[in-house]
């Protein structure tokens, strides 16, 4: 693992929880001198204490190791704020209703930043019964393909996973206004407001 918890992170998180060094030490069954050594960089917590330390500080293990506290301010449950994470190893697609600390296959995943659909990534939309049939003329080889197509509106996320050597098409229940997303393994996340 490239990262390990730093003393500055421990101190910042401890102070944010309004804990003294003694109070944190009691939660972890260590001495307050040990906490002081960690915070001043004169020592490091044992690996067996990392999970209990994260729990005592009220953060995830990833947040503790990265030093970045993740706060999801998406309290209104507006699904339009959905963000995507894609694992480059296994292709796992993870939607989240706001910023999150996500990892897959042992890799911390960055939040994907969408660009507007253009050129080879333009979709055709045709109404079929009570759904919309989404198609695009795009390669679907093992090295260049569309991984997923998703519809996001204020109250729903609908995602269809696509696979190489299949067709770049799907059917979605698109109601009201929202965003149509697609993910190209070479060009990243693209979206179109509808």
| Mean pLDDT of all residues in 1-25 | 83
Say if residue 2's pLDDT is above 50. Answer: no
Percent of residues in the chain assigned helix, strand, coil, to nearest 5: 25, 30, 45
33-59 pLDDT, tens digit each? 999 999 988 888 888 888 899 899 888
Strands 115-116, 188-193: pairing is: parallel
User: How far is 104 from 95, CA to CA, in rounded Å?
Assistant: 13
User: How far is 117 from 72, CA to CA, in rounded Å?
Assistant: 27
pTM of the complete model: 0.65
pLDDT tier at 147, thresholds 50, 70, 90: very high
Specify the range with the lowest mean pLDDT, choosing from 4-13, 15-24, 63-72: 63-72
User: How far is 102 from 86, CA to CA, in rounded Å?
Assistant: 10
């Amino acid at each position: 693992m490239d990262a390990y918890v730093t003393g500055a992170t421990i101190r910042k998180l401890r102070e944010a929880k309004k804990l003294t060094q003694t109070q944190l030490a009691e939660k972890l069954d260590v001495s307050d001198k040990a906490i002081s050594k960690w915070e001043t960089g004169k020592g490091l917590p044992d690996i067996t204490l990392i999970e209990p330390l994260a729990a005592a500080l009220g953060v995830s293990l990833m947040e503790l190791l990265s030093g970045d506290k993740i706060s999801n301010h998406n309290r209104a449950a507006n699904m339009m704020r959905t963000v995507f994470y894609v694992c480059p190893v296994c292709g796992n697609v993870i939607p989240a209703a706001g910023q999150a600390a996500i990892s897959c296959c042992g890799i911390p995943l960055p939040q994907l930043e969408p660009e507007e659909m253009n050129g080879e990534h333009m979709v055709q939309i045709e109404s079929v019964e009570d759904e919309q049939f989404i198609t695009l003329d795009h390669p679907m080889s093992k090295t260049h393909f569309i991984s997923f197509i998703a519809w996001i509106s204020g109250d729903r996320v609908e995602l269809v996973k696509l696979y190489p050597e299949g067709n770049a098409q799907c059917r979605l229940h698109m109601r009201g206004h929202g965003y149509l997303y697609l993910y190209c393994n070479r060009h990243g996340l693209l979206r179109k407001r509808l």
